[in-house]
Every structure is written in structure tokens, then in C-alpha cells.
Chains A and B, each alone.
Chain A
């Protein structure tokens, strides 16, 4: 019997274009389109910027080391246009296609010959706010660093004769080891940590918000379409009706989450993919999930899973309760609006702060609202070595879930499910009349 009700819920919801759009298509397409645009834009602008092979040089030094540097640039495959004894700013404004100029100022070679630091000046004219403009500047900075390294070798060779300049310039081989909560992580993981932390926090928040939204809509639509009265006279216990709604909600939320994850993964990997597509690109930081997974022990994974399960049931039941007193889906959405504050504000705080940074009062407040953010709290506290917070949060979440489901079941048993919204409407009208 529950199976039939669940199938009905899924059919009736997934065939609704509004629900299909907001649950599956938008999260999937939005991220894929955004990621695709970002990838295309980055690849195009970087390619365009990097394919400009002409370097404009103002040489006011006209001496040995500036000549060596200019030859080095030519050897790198660039076409070099040299302006001698010129004002770099004037060249930049007068020569239309010269968006970046390298200047060797007067005394450049003299300084290097006398053991003094010499300067190379770079001038850039950025015509728009696109990433491409910055890419050109980045490329020039990279070229200046390469010129500096090349001149170092030339100078070392002149001073030390047969000694390998590479050894003099870089005699130390470094090796670093990173530890998070006492567990060693590969260095490449650090570059992904920001994305990873955000994902760990954002995904459960989205999951919770989606669950409340879907569950409240699922019962509010019964009111809106006037099917609730018939549903409540079915020869099935009200608890089974509630259970079938909750199962339906969880299946829909899992589908929505899958769509969100696929879209989000595409989105966050788009910049890396763009780098990899560039000619000679070394690629962005490589993402290997296996070292991340080894960070978490089986207890963390299992308890976080339990927290996800109970949180979804709790917020699902809460959504059904709120949705049942709303005459339509739109009103239901306004009822659940304030709940998103309880979910997103602490969620965002947890994204930026370690639990140890919270005061005792703040930790107690977090605990009180933890049924809404339990997956994050449990995961973070176990990861940060504060297991008592995880156990307390989980216990309170399970208790909250049982209480919420019991209240929802009790509410469905009473006539309030039909009369409360009428009473609320009458109270609103009376207030208006006063």
C-alpha cells in the first residue's frame, strides 16, 4: 500500500514541470551552463592572450645585458619590436596594438655589472575587465621572471667560471609534509581544500533546504488541488500516509542531490579543464579523491551518514507539518522561508570557523539547532577532534526526529489538518478587521 502511494507521489511530482525544473533541471543545467561558459570564456581569452607572440620593448639602456635579455626573448620564439630611447608611456598610447611594454631603463647593464639590483619595468593597457587582460599581464610577469633567472645564470657563469649555475642558484631541494588533524595529506590536496570545505558544508545545506521545500510542497499541493480530504479517508492509517510522503520526499531529494552533485562537479572542474586545454598548459591542480577519503575513518563516515538520514527525516516531517497548514504551494514556501535562516546562517559560520573558535554559548546554540545542520556538525566535530559535540548533536537530532515525526503523525490523525488553515485564515481576517 505504501509502495502505491510512493509511486503516486513520484509520478505526480516528477511530471509537474515546475517541480522537475526546480529539483533536477535547474541545478543540473545551471551549473553545467555556468561551468561551460566559464570554461569557454577562460579558454578563449587565455588562448587569445597567450597567442600574442609580439613583445614590445623600450630599450633605454642600449648596453650588454639588455641586448642579452632581448636576444633571450627572441630565442623564446617571440617577435620583438624594439623602441630605443623612447618614453614607454607614449609608446603605449601611440601604438594601438601594444597592450604590454617591457622597458629596460637607463643604467640596467651598469647596475648588473656592478653587483646592484637592476629594474625591468612593465606597462600594461587593459582595455576591458575580462580575465584576458590580466592573463596578458601574468604572462609578461612570467617572462620577466624568466629573463631574471636567465641573467642570473649568465652572471654566475661570468663570475664562477666552470661551476654549474643551477647549483649555485638553487642548492636546496625542499620536501614538505602536510598534516590535518594528525593525518598526513598529499600536498596537492591543500590546493583543493577550499573547494572541498565549501562542498562539505554547501551540499548538506542544499540537501536540507531542498527537503523542506519538497516536503512542504508535497502536502500543500494536496490542499491546493483539493485532494487531501479524499486522501485522508483512504482505508490506510494516517501514519502510513505520512511515511509514504516522507519516502517520496527522500527519493526526490536524492534525485535532486545527484543532479546537484553532477552539475556542481562540472562547475568546479571547469577552470581546471580550461587550463588543461591551453597550449602547453600544465593543467590546474589535479583532483584525486582517494587521498581525501583516507582522511576520514569509518566512524566519521557512518555517523555523518546517520546524521544525514535523521536530519532529512526530521526536516521532511517538519516540512510536511508546515505544508499541511498552507492552502497552496506558494503559501507553504513563505512558511518555510524563516527556516532557511536557521539552516544557512550557522552553516555559513561553520564554513569559515573551526568549532574550537566558537564560545561555549555559541556551541550550545549550535547544538540546539543541530537537527537542521547535524551532518555538518557531526562531520566537522569528528574531523576536528571534538567527538562529544558529534555524539550530543546526533542524540538530539534523533530525539528531535522522533518528536517531529510523532507530532506530524498525531497532527495528521486530528481534524486540525483540515481546520487549522481555516482557523488561521479567520484569525488573519479578524486582525485585519480590527
Chain B
């Protein structure tokens, strides 16, 4: 199996603050990989480095063999990034937004139609984005990230701001697209249920370091607890 993402000894400083401390892990092609950890653990920093937005202070990060420092342009051709608090161009309609993204990523028309379907906004797709609720906007952004069928989708809290029904819908869409189009997904989430449902493997991150890594079952077994939530609490030094 090919390696989609390789990270070795990744260190990142913000001024004097060490955000990542010798982070090391690999993500296999076609895998849905979850990063789980408390606020400030370094999840978003890791995702931003993979997405070529931030540069590592030291260490190596490769996406399908391309070093993110040396070949950021090549990496960007392979990825689609969804930030946690992303917005969309307020004065475009939902449809115009997806069409614009389609042109940027040179995808065929039927991919855009799929994007419209994933967003499931009904008639609102022809309304300007500024009229959308937070949940509608998030669905549109997830649709944008998936419809381009990247080789690597980087999703930071993909269901944040969504109600239960829409969160479930988006999770299914992520799962469907990852399996159907062999899209590798690396995501972060605070929702353990989501991680348990979606991810093939999970990395527990705390204070910029990987505390543990494995499938949900492996982690539950390793920590001797009942579910991933308890794994998380134990991993960061809490008592279950």
C-alpha cells in the first residue's frame, strides 16, 4: 500500500512556543486517518503544515512523496483543505462558488453536480452565500472539498457547526467519497463518535506529540477502556 502522508520528527515553533514536538506518523493511501487531542495539542498546526500553509521549524513532511517545503506547488495539486473556521465568498451563490472551484481544479461538470448534491442545499444553492446559516455554509464547504476528488482531503473539524442529521449526512459523504474514489482523508475532530465511525486509524495528540496511534479497537484494548472517549481521557492523563 502506498504512503499518502509521511511525517518525521516534525517540530514547529511559534516564536518561543513549541507547538509540535518531534511529531511522527504515516497515513496510508485510501485511509481515513483521525487526529484527536485537546485544544492546543497541535492538530490544526499539523494539518496546516500538510496543506503547505505553514512551514515546519524542522522535520520532514511528504505528501505522496513530495516534500511540502521543496514542492509545495505539487502538493497543492493533490490536496483539498477544509479549515475549521472556513468561510466562503459571501456574494457568490452556492452554485457559483462550486463552479468557481471547479474551474480552479479543472474538474468536469458532473463533479460539480455531485458537489451540489453533497451540499444538499435544495433551491438555496442559487442564493448568495451571505444568506446561508452556519450549517448550510459548512455543507457547501465540505462539498467543495470532496467534489474535486483530491488524492488527499485535509479536513479540520468537518462537521463543526452542523446539527445531528446534517453531521451524519456529511460523515456518510466523506466515507462514501473516500472509498469510492480512493481519496485519502486526514481529519481532526473533537467528536469521538465521529472519529470512531469514520476513521480507519486514529492518532492521539497531546502537547505537540503523538501519544498513541492505532485502530479504534486497538486503542480501546490498549487502554483497557470501553470507548474512544475514555481512551482520549486516559491518553491525556485523566482518570476514567
Give me the interface of A with B, judged by CB distance under 8 Å: 1, 4-5, 7-8, 11-13, 15-16, 225-227, 229-230, 232-237, 414-415, 418-419, 422-423, 426
Contact = CB atoms under 8 A, between A and B. Distances in A.
B91 A233 contact: no
Interface string B94-106: 0010001001110
B81 A233 contact: yes
Contacts of A233: 51-53, 76, 79-81
B99 to A, nearest CB: 9
B77 A230 contact: no
Contact of B85 (A4, A226, A236, A423): A226
10 nearest A-B residue pairs (beta carbon): A15-B91, A226-B87, A225-B87, A233-B81, A235-B77, A4-B103, A229-B83, A12-B89, A235-B76, A415-B54
Interface of B: 14-15, 48, 51-55, 73, 76-77, 79-83, 85-92, 96, 100, 103-105, 128
A226 B51 contact: no
A229 B104 CA distance: 15
A230 B83 contact: yes
A14 to B, nearest CB: 8
B123 to A, nearest CB: 19
Contacts of A426: 15
B88 to A, nearest CB: 7
Contacts of A7: 100
Contacts of A414: 55
Nearest to B141: A230
B96 A11 contact: yes
B132 to A, nearest CB: 12
8 contacts: A4-B103, A8-B92, A12-B90, A13-B91, A229-B48, A235-B77, A237-B73, A414-B55
A331 to B, nearest CB: 17
A230 to B, nearest CB: 6
Contacts of A236: 76, 104
Nearest to B83: A229
Given A235-B76, A418-B54, A423-B15, A227 B87 contact: yes
A426 B15 CA distance: 11
Contacts of B86: 226-227, 229-230
Nearest to A14: B91
Nearest to B105: A235
A229 B53 contact: yes
Contacts of A225: 87-90
Contacts of B83: 226, 229-230
Contacts, number: 78
Nearest to B156: A229
Nearest to B97: A8
Given A225-B89, A233-B79, A15 B128 contact: yes
Contacts of A230: 81-83, 86
Given A7-B100, A227-B86, A233-B51, 16 more contacts: A4-B103, A12-B91, A15-B128, A225-B87, A225-B89, A229-B86, A230-B82, A232-B53, A233-B79, A233-B81, A234-B76, A235-B73, A235-B76, A235-B104, A235-B105, A423-B15
Nearest to A17: B91
A233 B150 CA distance: 12
Nearest to B144: A230
Contacts of A229: 48, 51, 53, 81, 83, 86
Contact of B91 (A16, A419, A423): A16
B89 A8 contact: yes
Nearest to A427: B15
B104 A234 contact: yes
A177 B105 CA distance: 66
Given A233-B52, A233-B53, A233-B79, A419 B87 contact: no
Contact of A8 (B51, B80, B87, B100): B100
B96 to A, nearest CB: 7
Given A15-B128, A229-B83, A418 B53 contact: yes
A1 B54 contact: no
A90 B106 CA distance: 90
A248 B53 CA distance: 24
A255 B77 CA distance: 35
Nearest to B103: A4
B236 to A, nearest CB: 25
A227 B89 contact: yes
B91 to A, nearest CB: 4
B222 to A, nearest CB: 35
Contacts of A16: 90-91
B104 A419 contact: no
A279 to B, nearest CB: 51
A227 to B, nearest CB: 5
Contacts of A415: 53-55
With most chain A CB atoms within 10 A of its CB, the pick from B14, B87, B88 is B87
A258 to B, nearest CB: 22
A233 B85 CA distance: 15
B20 to A, nearest CB: 14
Contact of A12 (B54, B82, B92, B105): B92
Nearest to B100: A8
A327 B128 CA distance: 23
A227 B52 CA distance: 16
With most chain B CB atoms within 10 A of its CB, the pick from A4, A8, A11, A13 is A8
Contacts of A11: 89, 91-92, 96
A414 B72 CA distance: 11
Contacts of A8: 89, 92, 100
With most chain B CB atoms within 10 A of its CB, the pick from A4, A229, A232, A418 is A229
Contacts of A232: 52-53
A9 to B, nearest CB: 9
A190 B55 CA distance: 63
A4 B104 contact: yes
A277 B60 CA distance: 79
